Structure 1
Amino acid sequence: MTNFVWTLRVYWEDTDAGGVVFYANYLKFFERARTEWLRSLGIEQQALADQAGVVFIVRSTAVDYNAPARLDDQLEIRTRIDRVGPASVQFTQQAWRGELMLATGAIRVGCVDKSTFRPAPIPDPVLATIKSAR
C-alpha cells in the first residue's frame, strides 16, 4: 500500500480528556506526512509558493477510525498516491501502531494560485516528480 512512511510519537497535546488521540489530530498527522513526503522528493512548499506562485490545499477528506492511539504510542503514517491529475492528487493514508491499523483516510489535495486560491495546474517539474514517486 505504501509509497511513503513517516513515524511520529503521540504527545499530551494530541490526546483528549479520555487519554486517546483526538480524532481531528489524525488529519494533522496525515498533513505532516504529506509534507514530509513532498520534502523527501525535494519539493519545499514555501519555495513552491514563492517561485511558482502555487500552494496545495486540502479539497476533501474522509477518515475511518478503527482503534485509538494513546499517549507515547509510536505511529507510522503510511501514504499512497492513488491518482495524479493535472491540478490534484488523491491519497490514501493510514495510521498504524505496530500491526494494527488505527485510522485510514482518503485525502484529495488541489493545486491553487496562492493569491486567488483558484485551481492551477501543478507545475510540470513537480508533476513529473510526483508521478515518478507512484
Structure 2
Amino acid sequence: MSAFVPMPAPATGRFIGAAHHFPLRVYFEDTDLSGLVYHANYLRYMERARSDMLRVAGIDQRATHEAGDGVYAVTDIKIRYRRPARLDDDLMVESRVTAFGAATCAIHQRVRRGEELLTDGEVSVAFLTQQGRPQRQPRPWIDIFSRLMTGEDINP
C-alpha cells in the first residue's frame, strides 16, 4: 500500500508590503520564432498576476461574478517593453495598486528577471454591472485597496 502524496499546488504569489509578487517561468509556447517571449504574452503574465493579487488580497472575483454582482474589465492599458525574456527564464511580476475610486482601480505592474526590469505597465480596470455599466465596487474591496495604498501588510 502506497502512502498518499498530495498534488503540488498551483503557483501563487504573495504580498511583500503593498506589492504583490507573482513568480512564473517562460515556456516554449510563450516564445516566437526569434526565441523571445511574444509581446502579447506579457499581457497574459500581467493578467495572471493581477488575478492572483486580488485573490490573495481576499477579493473573490468568481463568487461576485457568479452571484451576478459585477465583474472587472480592463479599460486602459499602457505597456513598455524594455528587455526581452527568453525560454526558461524565471520571471517575477510585481503588482501595486496606485489609485482607486468608487468603480475603478489602477495597478502598476513590472515584469523582472532577477533585478533586471523587462516590462512595465499601467492597467486601469472598472467594476461593471452585468449590462456593462460602471458600478461601485464592494465596500470590503475598497477597504482592501485602501490598506494596500498605505502599504499595510495584508498577508494572513
TM-score (norm 1): 0.94
Given the alignment of the two structures, is residue 74 of structure 1 paired with residue 90 of structure 2, yes or no? yes
Checking the alignment, whether the CA contact within 8 Å between 1:90 and 1:106 is kept in structure 2 is: yes
Structure 1 counterpart of 2:26, which letter? V
Structure 1 position 126, deviation (Å): 1.5
Q: Sequence identity of aligned pairs in percent?
A: 36
Asked whether the equivalents of residues 2 and 78 of structure 1 are also in contact (C-alpha less than 8 Å), the reply is no
Q: How does 1:21-60 map to 2 (within 5 A)?
A: 21-51=37-67, 53-60=69-76
1:124 aligns with 2:139: yes
Structure 2 stretches lacking a partner, 5+ long: 1-16, 150-156
Deviation of 1:52 after TM superposition, in Å, equals 5.5
Q: Secondary structure at the match of 2:123?
A: strand
- Per-residue deviation, residues 50-69 of structure 1 (Å, max 9, x unmatched): 23611011001011100000
CA distance in 1, matches of 2:48, 2:18: 16
2:18 & 2:144 partners in 1: Cα distance? 17
2:117 paired with 1:101: yes
Which structure dedicates a bigger proportion of its chain to strand? 1
Task: Mark the structure with the bigger radius of gyration.
Answer: 2
Moved over 4 A (4+): none
Deviations 1:82-126 (A, max 9, x none): 10111011111000001110000011011001x201111111112
Equivalent residues of 1:6, 1:33 under 8 A apart? yes
Unaligned runs of 5+ in 1: none
